Amino acid sequence: MIEQAFISGPLGKAVYKEDGQFYAIGVAAFEGPVECRRGDLSFLLELGAEFIEISGENITLDDLRSALEQERQKHRALQLLVSGFDADLTEETRRLCIEAAEDLLEDKSVWSFVRNRLMSRVIPSVADTRIAKEFANLEATYKAGRIYAEVLNSQSAIESLLRFLGEATRGKYKSEEERASIEKRLIDVGVFAEMVAAIRAGGPYDIESKIQTHLSDLRFNPGSPLRDSQKTKTEKVTNISLTQPVPSGETQESIGIEVKETRFTTPTITVQPIQVSVVLDSGVFLIDVRAEKQFDCQIGYFAPEFKVYADWKTVEGPDLTQAQIGIRELTFRIIAADGKERTDGVVISEDLRKHLLLRATLYEGEAYSPPVIPARFDWILNFNSGYFRSSNVKARSFKQCHGYTHQPTDRRKFFSDVAQDVVIHYNLADGERLEIASGNNVLWDSSRYRDVTKRFDIEIIGSDATAENYFRDALDHKGHDYWIINGDPGPIGGRP
Amino acid sequence: MATCHNCHSELVETVESCFTCGWYIGPPNVREVKKEVERLALERRYENKITDLCETGDLEAIRGFEEGVKASCAVINMSIDFLYHFLSYKKAVYSTYGLSVEGQIRIPAKKEDASRRRSIDAMLFADYGEQIRFAALSLDGVGPKSYGPYSIKLREVTIGHRATLLEENSYSFVPKHGINSESGIPLGYRAAWDERHKLAVCKLAESIVSEKFDDLSKVLLSSNGDYATDDFIEVHIFGPFDANAIESVKGRTIAPDQKLEYAMLERIKELLKMAGKDWVEE
């Protein structure tokens, strides 16, 4: 008779004890039971895999297999979505993993498990979130995208919560094992994710009572040190709410914990925002522009020349010779009055989505569609906020060139209503500024012009001579014939 | 009783170092099979077998097999989930989201139980059973499929000095030889890693000469996916190992229409490639 069993979803194995001997089974009927020798057990344990314990009367092998299968699916889905962050994997495999998780995420319990886990930890610094962002932009299509979008937007809230809980429970557990066990339960029942969502929402939220309620539900033993610690913590944090991410290095009392009773309103002075527009007359979008909301946007550019106007008067633009050595990225960022960077994400207007010529459109029906080689650009322009729209929409013609001789063939293509420019709009609220930076070096800063009250216009101009750069050199033709614009190059969507 | 080379204290047979001075004396399973009495018994079985083969004129038939076994490897079979985890659990991007609770199952697993003392483990390894990792000896890098479809071939340099071999799967070996807690293990049925070919000849010479086999790897290790009928020479490795001990993984590529397993396997192949390990198509 099985009375106690341990299930490991990540390993796809369950171990149970019967008549004093351990046995192992897998999900399939042919996978055991087989005697689990002490060495086998050690092997399972040293892999750092998670186990959940099942105990009760008359547990059958079918019960075990069914529970094992459920756990296995949860961990498979989690691993696949975490693979989306794995910088060691190719982008193709990362996409494959995320897409493969979709069917698993149909199951609500799997979906909740994955969300709860990803909302419980800050994404590690070694992770690469580019592909996750790509799916997050397609959250309406992908269940994984929904999770990624929430997780990516919750990083500062997760960091705040972890820091807060670390402070509040320091020294309150009997052992690290007990801390890990309790935290795991809170994460897996969704309390963590709920708290993170509440912090993001910014409303008053009593973390302490929420935890207390759930711990009672989980029937922790009365002697639990967390229960003891709750008294202390309750005294300390009753009637408070976390409303802001916790900046590092600050004390608990000053980390945005706000006493409800002392809230009051202060008179405000309305200041008209300063408008900023950035005009791009060429460039290759390195993101898929077909989604309206994007976390950020990279645009490859050749030989950019800046013209900047402050309240319609010419002023000095960024000096690219002062760029940080080794960095070829120019980052456009809005810095709020409190010194924090605004990372609202970018919005691609319907108008731009309709009129930006895509590489896939230019090469539609061709045997080979050359991918973009980002390393070829002189600069990558990087935006993490702003409203992108099309401008100067007109008909453009393209000629085909021979892949090796670069001489025009007799083929031509015409496209009506193609965006010749892209304009990016910002509104700078009182105290906000726009920076153009290269790594740590700020090359241009709107706050230098304190007299400006209306607007900045920044034009990034390329010459006609760069058409070959954009339509030939930046693409991996592999000797195939290629298409090039006649005259002044306009922007193009590189993906797809 | 053996004594420590360093301090001359009496050594405990089942540990790796001298209790008195900490002098490293080697894995207990290796010391056990390298004892004179054990080695002589294996040598005697082997010589007798060779003599018999000479008399019947079948020696040449066995030499090729013997040479092959000298280059054989230790393999461990796993499921796709197990392998997936084994290759990635130490990477920060994955371990961040794993919530393993140390000791959760270690405590119940360590509880002493009267029946455990009668177990196969205790009979073969006395007190150090929990240090033994099990593998199978293979000519072609394919292991027993009953443990999973993916065969992990271990690098010889990582295990050769701490591995010993038992003539067959211990589940069948113990009842076959009527071993119990009072009787010892019959002599001559275990070998150190560098003498594995002798054990293989003792076990399989008759089968090889009496039947014509196209594939000798299937003679050394036969598995049709059923633990009960698996037949192989069992490798006992003292102590743990990690993914760095892998030389290659052998298995069958999954069709893209099996989206989930296909993605998992593609990821496995990339992790192997990143780590400089080979994927071998079966």
- Tell me if B166 sits within 8 A of B236, measured CB to CB: yes
Going by pLDDT thresholds of 50, 70 and 90, the confidence category of residue A456 is very high
**A404/A432 Cα distance (integer angstroms):** 51
The answer, yes or no, to whether residue A307 has pLDDT greater than 90, is yes
Share of chain A above pLDDT 70, in %: 86
**Mean pLDDT, range B110-131, rounded to an integer:** 69
Contacts of B131 in chain A (CB under 8 A): 39, 42
Question: Left (φ > 0), alpha (ψ -120 to 50) or beta: where does A20 sit?
Answer: left
Sign (positive/negative) of CA torsion A445, A450, A456, A461? Answer: negative
Residue A254 banded pLDDT, cuts 50, 70, 90: very low
What pLDDT digit, counting tens, does each position of A135-152 carry?
988 877 889 999 999 999
Cβ A37–B134 below 8 Å, yes or no? yes
pLDDT of A393 higher than 70: yes
Distance CA(A68)–CA(A9), nearest Å, equals: 6
Looking at the DSSP bridge assignments, the partners of residue A42 are none
Question: What pairing do the DSSP bridges indicate for beta strands A492-495 and A482-485?
Answer: unpaired
The yes-or-no verdict on residue A314 having pLDDT over 50 is: yes
Whether residue A181 lies within 8 A of chain B, CB to CB, comes out as yes
What is the pLDDT confidence band of residue A240, given thresholds at 50, 70 and 90?
very low
pLDDT digits (tens, 9 = 90+) for A469-487: 999 999 998 889 999 998 8
| CA B105 to each of CA A48, A51, A54, A307, B232: distance values in angstroms, whole numbers, following the listed order | 12, 8, 11, 67, 30
Contact at CB, A38 and B96, closer than 8 angstroms: no
Is the CB of residue A46 less than 8 Å away from at least one CB of chain B? yes
- pLDDT attached to residue B61: 82
- The answer on pLDDT for B107 being more than 60 is no
Q: Is the pLDDT of residue A11 over 90?
A: yes
Please list, in sequence order, all residues whose beta carbon lies within 8 angstroms of the beta carbon of residue B127, skipping any fewer than 6 positions away. B14
pLDDT, greater one: A19 or B41: B41
Would you place residue B104 in the very low, low, confident or very high pLDDT band (cuts 50, 70, 90)? low
Total CB pairs under 8 A between chain A and B:
179
pLDDT at A218: 52
Minimum-distance CB partner of A12 among B81, B109, B274? B81
* CB A297, CB A388: distance < 8 Å: yes
The enclosing H or E element of A433 equals: strand A433-438
Query: Taking CA atoms, what residue in B is nearest to A26?
Result: B79
Q: For A334-372, what is each residue's pLDDT tens digit? A: 998 888 888 888 899 999 999 999 999 999 989 889 999
Partners of A75 on chain B (C-beta within 8 Å) are 81
- On whether any CB of chain B is under 8 Å from the CB of A187, the answer is yes
Mean pLDDT value across chain B: 89
Length of chain B: 282
Task: List phi, psi (to 5°) of A348.
Answer: -100, 115
Residues A342/A284, Cβ–Cβ less than 8 Å: no
Answer whether A42 sits within 8 Å of B92, measured CB to CB: no
Q: Please check the confidence at residue B91 and state whether its pLDDT lies above 80.
A: yes
Yes or no, beta carbons of A90 and B103 under 8 Å apart: no
DSSP state of A370: P
A345 DSSP β-pair partners: A385
Asked whether the beta carbons of residue A181 and residue B101 sit closer than 8 angstroms, the reply is yes
Q: To probe the interface with B, which of A40, A47, A99, A123 has the most B CB atoms within 10 Å?
A: A47
Cβ distance B271 to A93 less than 8 Å, yes or no, reads no
Between these two residues, B155 and B207, which has the higher pLDDT value? Answer: B155
Q: What is the pLDDT of residue A203?
A: 60
A260 pLDDT more than 80: no
Are B96 and B162 in contact, with CB atoms under 8 Å apart? no
> What's the pLDDT score for residue A249?
35
pLDDT digits (tens, 9 = 90+) for A109-124: 999 999 999 999 999 9
Q: Does B23 touch chain A (CB under 8 A)?
A: no
Cβ neighbours of A19 in B, within 8 Å? 115
pTM: 0.67
pLDDT reading at A69 higher than 90: yes
User: Is the CB of B212 inside 8 Å of chain A's CB atoms?
Assistant: no
CA-nearest residue of chain B to A22?
A: B109
Mean pLDDT over each residue of chain A, to the nearest integer: 82
User: First vs last Cα of chain B: how many Å apart?
Assistant: 48
Task: Please state the ipTM of this predicted complex.
Answer: 0.88
Within A262-408, where are the H helices?
A: 350-355, 359-362
B107 → chain A, closest CA residue: A45
